[in-house]
Structures are given as structure tokens and as C-alpha cells.
Amino acid sequence: MSLTIPDDILRSLDMSEQEMLLELAVALYAAGKISFGQARRLAGLDWYRFREILATRNIPAHYDIEQFEEDLANLYNLPAAK
């Protein structure tokens, strides 16, 4: 899906396309609509930079039991170190 934001709206906000994507990603993440991974990809940022931005805006990480269980499963599936 492509989302088109009219240039006049972007100009009136005095934002670049990248800034708009960041704001959208942060808002959707803060509202619990998308995951951290989806939000950082939408913003075009790496894990550390997106986390830093959330921290400066006092937006807490969403980490529920489902995500914890997924992380555990991923850990168990890692190859054993030799």
C-alpha cells in the first residue's frame, strides 16, 4: 500500500517525508497499533536510534508476555555456542 500525503500538507507542517514517517511511526507505536520493529522500519531507523527517540519523548517500551515468550522461543532456537 502506498500512502500519499499532499505536498501542501507537508509544506504547511514544515516537515520532510522522513520526518512525517517518523512522527507516524512514533504515534502508531505509542497507541499500540504497531510493534516496535514495525515502527522502527516505518521510520527508517535502526533499533538503537528509534529507542533513543522514544526515550526522549517519554514513550515506554511495550513488552507484553506474548513478546517475552517469542523472545524466549528465539533464544532456544539459537545455535549452541562452541
Residue extents of the structural domains in the chain: 7-76
pLDDT at 81: 59
List of residues 6+ apart from 17 with CB closer than 8 A = 5, 10
Q: How many DSSP H helices and E strands does the chain contain?
A: 5, 0
In this predicted structure, the answer to whether residue 75 has a pLDDT above a threshold of 60 is yes
pLDDT in tens, 25-74: 999 999 999 988 899 999 999 989 999 999 999 999 887 787 788 778 88
Longest Cα pair distance anywhere in the chain, in angstroms? 58
Cell numbers found for residue 1: 500500500
Q: What is the pTM of this model?
A: 0.72
